Chain A
Amino acid sequence: MRAVCWHGVREVGIEDVPDPKILNPRDAIVKVTSTAICGSDLHLYDGYIPGMFRGDILGHEFMGEVVEVGSAVKNLSVGDRVVVPFPISCGNCYFCSQEMYSLCENSNPNAPLAEKLWGHSPAGIFGYSHMLGGYAGGQAEYVRVPFADVGPLKVPESLSDEQVLFLSDVLPTGYMAAESCNIQPGDTVAVWGCGPVGLFAIQSALLLGADRVIAIDRFPERLRKARLLGAETVDYESTDVLATLRELTGGRGPDSCIDAVGMEAHFHGVVGAYDRAKQAMRLSTERPGVLRQAITAVRSGGTVSVPGVYGGVVDKLPFGAIVNKGIILRSGQTHVQRYMRPLLERIERGEIDPTFIISHRLALEDAPEAYEMFRNKDDECVKVVLRP
């Protein structure tokens, strides 16, 4: 089959690889009909997530048709159309039984690597480094899905691929980020980053009853999409973000701040250059400019919610602000399985139409150019959907 493989920093390629096989009784093989490139794939592309090796198959946002099931998978049959959540979760461990699926204790075969870095290992993730399991990803014609009796969600034929594909990651991720803010009537939520996760966080915050959402980015097309959802927008290239947020919120600051940017924040000035230099020299894995700003901007006693991906150690984090302002810090990989069904219902009812984020529809073979375009935000790229 054809598969998108990591070849090195800023290098992906399409290769002919063997078809996946059932390896465990609870596996299924899915023939991928649609797959997307995630913003977090760009962290792999740029080489900031450790544990990637040449030949690793990428992709954790995908859906398709079940073509084979293992002997222990009873709830799926060949021909079912499914969306697959990006965390691989057993459904049996303590965390899965608490619906904290992305913290599954049993799905990372390389747990010792993650334990060395983080103390404990989270769930394995498709196509997201050997530290998170080394599982072959879904930017391919076929993919092996472990614990297929827990993750994949059957979707009705009445909905198109593009309407349900983002249930695999970005829609639940944006939703969980907003839900973590415990939004109350009258709340103002500030969202950094108007990529797919940020846009879904904006939409979710409004659905969950936020009074105002303020969206921060620098790309006009992304700010336009945020405005269409009902957000007020701030272009951080031409505005002092902290002063503007204070002013827009009557001096108090946003009740909640969402960092939908993560470890590769783009910033100008001395601090931006400092972070960039440290990351380039591999002295620091992160450029935490947005996180610092969110912590500083949020009102006292407010919530900072971090769906953006961070991998290692963050430098110059204003922890004093967290303590002295009594900030609630929420983060985590998304417990996708928890949100898929209720969000599918919202899609069916027409409350959410996730297709608005799609900017490019390409063939799987176009992946190398698509990664480069998405990375550089060329051609107003917001979201790329690939069809094998």
Chain B
Amino acid sequence: MATDHTAQATSTAPQAESKQPASESPQSETARPGSARGYPRDYAEWEEEESEWEAEVARHSRLHLEDRQLAQVLGWVSIGLGLVELAAPRALGRAIGVGHHPIVLRLLGLREITTGIGLLSERALGDWAWARVAGDAMDLTLLGAASRSSDAETGKIALTTTAVLGVTAFDTYAARRLTASQSAEAPQIAVTEAVTINETPEVVYEFWRNLENLPLFMHHLESVSATSERISHWVATAPAGTSVEWDSELIEDEPGRRLGWRTLPDSEVTHEGMVSFEPAPGGRGTVVRVDMLYRPPAGKVGARIARLFGEEPSVQVKEDLRRLKQLLETGEVATTLGQPSGRRSLLGRIMLGRRLQ
């Protein structure tokens, strides 16, 4: 086995190295021959890579601890203010001099609580902080409108406006900082998923190698078309009804064993990965393992929204592999879409969602 791996080292070196976490790894390929040979890899090396990765994560955590605290403070302040607006809109209206507008203040309270929860979610902190800035702008506009109404107490409103301006300045500062750290955190997502399929590696490989089959089990894909032997064009549905296209290159193709791919440099989406087809022990089929690194389409509105609500690429890959297994083993994908049911409740319709059609 060992000699076999060493022999492969030179041929697979480029993409194996690119699979390293995006840190300046001091080790070269020659110092760590194991890392250069791709898959399958031994556990010692796996652990080494893992601990490197953990160190990287820890470094990030230290760097961004303050940012996270900042987000938490903002989050709790938002929620606190929101609760006051919800619970005592009339008293608050009198205190800040805008008069009697309980419904408006309650809605503003809900907005504050939403952004507060977002900031505490530890996801897309920059985006949530900008949502606060937008909220501040809304508050300032409303204060301007309120000052022209008959029951306005201009002195109090001026004081409130000054305070809100201060808050806006602070929110803008926080949003810029959190956005910086959000992008520094490089939302490059590593996904590893595996499934065991009751078929030979050759059959599974053949099915996958015919890339036009992929949309049959990767439900976010609209189409894959081979433009040449190694290059293919992919169209995927993105959140919020948009679609994303990219070109992908096969960087490794070992019949019956594995396929490696990488998106071409100028793609909207960047990902790279390897799918391997290993015989399961005892003739129990094929272990299909996907290892990929994925960077969501930066700047795309759809991806932004997806991140706000925490869509998980690993779940998507896992479900794709499950469908692949069903398709290869049974010839179809299990479904209940389109079956009858009695009248659903509103809760049921929401919970069952796309399963109902």
Q: Are B355 and A15 in contact (CB under 8 A)?
A: no
Residue in chain B with minimal CB distance to A7: B342
Q: How far is the CA of A105 from the CA of B327 in the complex (A)?
A: 12
Q: Are B198 and A93 in contact (CB under 8 A)?
A: yes
Residue A214 is within 8 A (CB to CB) of chain B in the complex: no
Q: Are A109 and B336 in contact (CB under 8 A)?
A: yes
Residue in chain B with minimal CB distance to A91: B330
Residue A136 is within 8 A (CB to CB) of chain B in the complex: yes
Q: How far is the CA of A108 from the CA of B318 in the complex (A)?
A: 15
Query: Are A134 and B198 also in contact (CB < 8 A) when A13-B342, A106-B334, A146-B334 are?
Result: no
Mostly, the A contact residues are loop
Residue A130 is within 8 A (CB to CB) of chain B in the complex: yes
Query: Are A53 and B348 also in contact (CB < 8 A) when A92-B198, A106-B329, A124-B334 are?
Result: yes
Mostly, the B contact residues are loop
Q: Which chain B positions have C-beta within 8 A of A200?
A: none
Q: Are A147 and B330 in contact (CB under 8 A)?
A: yes
Known contacts A5-B341, A23-B337, A23-B338, then 16 further A-B pairs from the complex at CB < 8 Å, ordered by chain A residue: A1-B340, A5-B343, A13-B342, A15-B343, A23-B339, A24-B335, A53-B351, A55-B344, A106-B329, A107-B334, A109-B334, A109-B335, A111-B322, A112-B315, A135-B336, A135-B339
**Which residues of B come within 8 Å of A, CB atoms?**
196, 198, 284-285, 315, 318-319, 322, 325-326, 329-345, 347-348, 351-352, 355
Q: How far is the CA of A144 from the CA of B336 in the complex (A)?
A: 10
| Distance from A361 Cβ to chain B, minimum over Cβ atoms (Å) | 24
Residue in chain B with minimal CB distance to A140: B340
| Distance from B335 Cβ to chain A, minimum over Cβ atoms (Å) | 5
| Distance from A319 Cβ to chain B, minimum over Cβ atoms (Å) | 31
Q: Are A20 and B340 in contact (CB under 8 A)?
A: yes
Residue A262 is within 8 A (CB to CB) of chain B in the complex: no
Q: How far is the CA of A108 from the CA of B344 in the complex (A)?
A: 21
Q: Are B340 and A130 in contact (CB under 8 A)?
A: no
Q: Are A25 and B331 in contact (CB under 8 A)?
A: yes
Interface centre among B326, B332, B342 (most CB of A within 10 A): B342
Q: Are A18 and B337 in contact (CB under 8 A)?
A: no
Q: Which chain B positions have C-beta within 8 A of A19?
A: 340
Within A80-137, the residues touching B (CB, 8 Å) are: 90-94, 97, 105-112, 124, 130, 133-136
- Contact among A21, A26, A54 with B330 in the assembled complex (CB-CB below 8 Å): A26
Q: Are A136 and B334 in contact (CB under 8 A)?
A: no
Residue in chain A with minimal CB distance to B195: A105
Query: Are A55 and B343 also in contact (CB < 8 A) when A21-B338, A111-B322 are?
Result: yes
Residue in chain A with minimal CB distance to B341: A55
Residue A3 is within 8 A (CB to CB) of chain B in the complex: yes
Q: Are B352 and A57 in contact (CB under 8 A)?
A: no
Q: How far is the CA of A251 from the CA of B335 in the complex (A)?
A: 53
Which 10 interchain pairs have the tightest Cβ spacing?
A5-B342, A55-B342, A53-B348, A15-B342, A17-B340, A92-B329, A54-B345, A90-B330, A55-B341, A24-B332
